[in-house]
């Protein structure tokens, strides 16, 4: 089964570490990163989709994706 996550955060080193941690746990980049300006906060926000192939098992919407 292929699972999907969309990581988001302020465009800073903490966001880069979040993506790097996901990659170190077997997730793979999916598509290009996205950026948007949060006018209320006056900062750039970043997002990156990641996917991971896991052993065939039933999908459980109550299970956290990081627990697969």
pLDDT tier, 67 (very low <50, low <70, confident <90, very high otherwise): confident
How many domains in the chain? 1
Instruction: Report the phi/psi class of residue 42: left, alpha or beta, with left for phi > 0 and alpha for psi in -120 to 50.
Output: left
Q: What is the pLDDT of residue 53?
A: 94
Whole-prediction pTM: 0.85
Structural domain including 21 reads 2-56
Answer yes or no: is 66 within a domain. Answer: no
pLDDT value of residue 21? 97
pLDDT score of 68 more than 90: no
Q: Which candidate, 6, 15, 21, places its Cα nearest to that of 51?
A: 6
Whether 9 is in a domain gets the answer yes
Residue 65 domain-assigned (yes or no): no
Q: What is the pLDDT of residues 11-62, one digit of tens each?
A: 999 999 999 999 999 999 999 999 999 999 999 999 999 999 998 888 899 9
45 within 8 A of 38, measured Cβ to Cβ: yes
């Amino acid at each position: 089964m292929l699972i999907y996550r969309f990581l988001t955060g302020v465009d800073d080193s903490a966001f880069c570490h979040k993506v790097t941690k996901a990659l170190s746990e077997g997730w793979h980049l999916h598509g290009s990163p996205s950026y948007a300006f949060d006018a209320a906060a006056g900062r750039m926000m970043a997002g990156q989709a990641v996917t991971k192939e896991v052993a065939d098992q039933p999908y459980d919407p109550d299970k956290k994706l990081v627990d697969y």
